[in-house]
Structure 1
Amino acid sequence: MIAEALRSTDRLFQIIQILRRSSRPVTARALAEELEVSIRTIYRDIAHLIGQRVPISGEAGVGYVLGTGYDMPPLALLPAELEAIVLGAQWVAAHGEKELSRAALDVLAKVAAVVPPALQPFISVPSTATKLPLDASQDKDDRTNLRAAIRAGTKLHLHYRDQQGEVTERTVWPVVLGYSDTTCMLIAWCELRQDFRHFRTDRIQAVEILDKKIGEPRTRLLQRWKAQRTSELAKITSEAG
């Protein structure tokens, strides 16, 4: 069980992490379930943290929140957290374009430079590995331009080859790049279709970053796309049932 593997100090860090990532009060029961310990243990740990001047407020039955002014050392990492970083960086290094691949390796080097010796093996001889790409995609350089346009909130003009081989021109509002083991998708609002569309980046024949801002904040576009995807998936699940 997780409780048997966690030392008391590690569990205290875990509690702080859970509170820090939550925007709402977290109950002792929720903490106990995630850490697989008793509620009494959580009460004792919370009391200990408060005694160490960690700004936790709340009460039993209501939930606990972490004060906004508090911050832990950013690299007080648990082994599982370090493994998550290594696994993610491995995947990006294998699947991302040159800029992202180099950035992923730089992240690992920076983390390795500051973690204590006891944690070094989690980086040098990791227990995790990602599946390598099945083929060498030729569109990776274009992804750099796509990400730049997403960050800048500017429109794109695409020459896109569809599944039937027909090439069309589209002006789109880029929202996010979605990665899988074998493909990368540009999720965007298409002005022609007046709807969200998914464009495989290996089918984009040419891309031009336009000097025009997208017509809606990207955060709102992302929320709308997520809501649409959730609705579509729920419909598919309902029909399958």
Structure 2
Amino acid sequence: MSRTQRLFDLLQLLRCHKYPVAATTLAEQLGVSVRTVYRDIATLQSQGAEIAGEAGLGYLLKPNFMLPPLMFSYEELQALRLGANWVSKQDDQQMTLAAQNALAKIAAILPDSLKLQMERETVRVGPSAEKAAVAVPLSQIRQSIRRGVVVDICYIDAQAQLTTRRIWPVLLGFMESCYMLVAWCETRQAFRHFRVDRLKQYHETDQRYPQSQQQLLRAWQAIQGIPDNPIAY
């Protein structure tokens, strides 16, 4: 690997973290020594890269720093295509269209050699278990989450009882066998997981829940023992 490529890779790794990352972690991911990471960080800083931190504390690329355009590797292109193909198999037409448009935008800026690589299909999403039909459009649930509104639902619980709940929708999970809605339930005063195929009524109110969706998501993750997402976009 050339030094120029290594510097680009280091910038890319830093961009993928929203919290300071240790030089030892960067060195392991790049396959170089910690001393090399220190030298490369200093080089990038001298060339104008806004990298905060120092040895022993970790490094963080400031979010307003613009990276030069980077080419995708073959594996990255295949991963993007695989992910888009998986999304297109879900019961969400808006997400299907968004995935197709995203791939088209990526293909439009690729050089011809990489376009050929992207068109080569070496991996494919196989058939999955058929999900139960849903009465509530997934796009409507995603909109509720995005707007942060309180929702009234009628739900068939695990005991096959029809219950009425008032919830704060937080996260929509695309599971293998069903779609799962994570929400704060005012009735239970706790986070609950609702299968979307068991939602019989779904009505948005004109109220916004008092916390942000990100705050609720972090609280749910803490309960579940899920670390906060370290990836920064």
TM-score by length of 2: 0.83
Residue 111 (structure 1) aligned with residue 101 (structure 2): no
Query: What letter is aligned with 1:207?
Result: Y
Q: Which moved more, 1:69-78 or 1:211-220?
A: 69-78
The counterpart of 1:143, out of the listed 138, 141, 145, is 138
Residue 222 (structure 1) aligned with residue 217 (structure 2): yes
Alignment of 1:55-74 (within 5 A): 55-56=50-51, 58-73=53-68
Secondary structure at the aligned position of 2:167 is classed as: strand
RMSD over aligned Cα, in angstroms? 2.6
Q: Give aligned-pair identity as a percent.
A: 38
Q: Write out per-residue CA displacement over residues 121-155 of structure 1, whole angstroms, 9 at most, x where no aligned residue.
A: 44212433323332154227521111111111111
Deviation at 1:169, TM superposition (A): 1.6
- Equivalent residue number for residue 156 of structure 2: 161
Alignment of 1:144-223 (within 5 A): 144-223=139-218
Distance 1:141 1:75 in 2: 40
Distance 2:163 2:62 in 1: 53
Distance 2:59 2:210 in 1: 40
Segments of 5+ residues of structure 2 without an aligned counterpart are: 227-233
Distance 1:140 1:84 in 2: 31
Secondary structure at the aligned position of 1:87 is classed as: helix
Segments of 5+ residues of structure 1 without an aligned counterpart are: 1-5, 232-241
1:47–1:79 distance in 2 versus 1, CA, 3 Å: farther
Secondary structure at the aligned position of 2:137 is classed as: helix
Deviation at 1:95, TM superposition (A): 2.0
1:61–1:229 distance in 2 versus 1, CA, 3 Å: closer
1:41–1:75 distance in 2 versus 1, CA, 3 Å: closer
Distance 1:62 1:157 in 2: 47
Contact 1:29 1:39 in 2 (8 A): yes
Residue 42 (structure 1) aligned with residue 37 (structure 2): yes
Contact 2:150 2:167 in 1 (8 A): yes
User: How many pairs does the alignment contain?
Assistant: 226
Q: Write out per-residue CA displacement over residues 48-81 of structure 1, whole angstroms, 9 at most, x where no aligned residue.
A: 5446443445554554443444212455433333
TM-score by length of 1: 0.80
Secondary structure at the aligned position of 2:159 is classed as: coil
Deviation at 1:159, TM superposition (A): 1.5
Higher relative contact order (CA 8 A, sep 6+): 2
- Select the structure that is richer in helix: 1
Q: Which moved more, 1:61-70 or 1:208-217?
A: 61-70
- Equivalent residue number for residue 237 of structure 1: none
Contact 1:186 1:200 in 2 (8 A): yes
- Equivalent residue number for residue 3 of structure 1: none
1:158–1:130 distance in 2 versus 1, CA, 3 Å: same
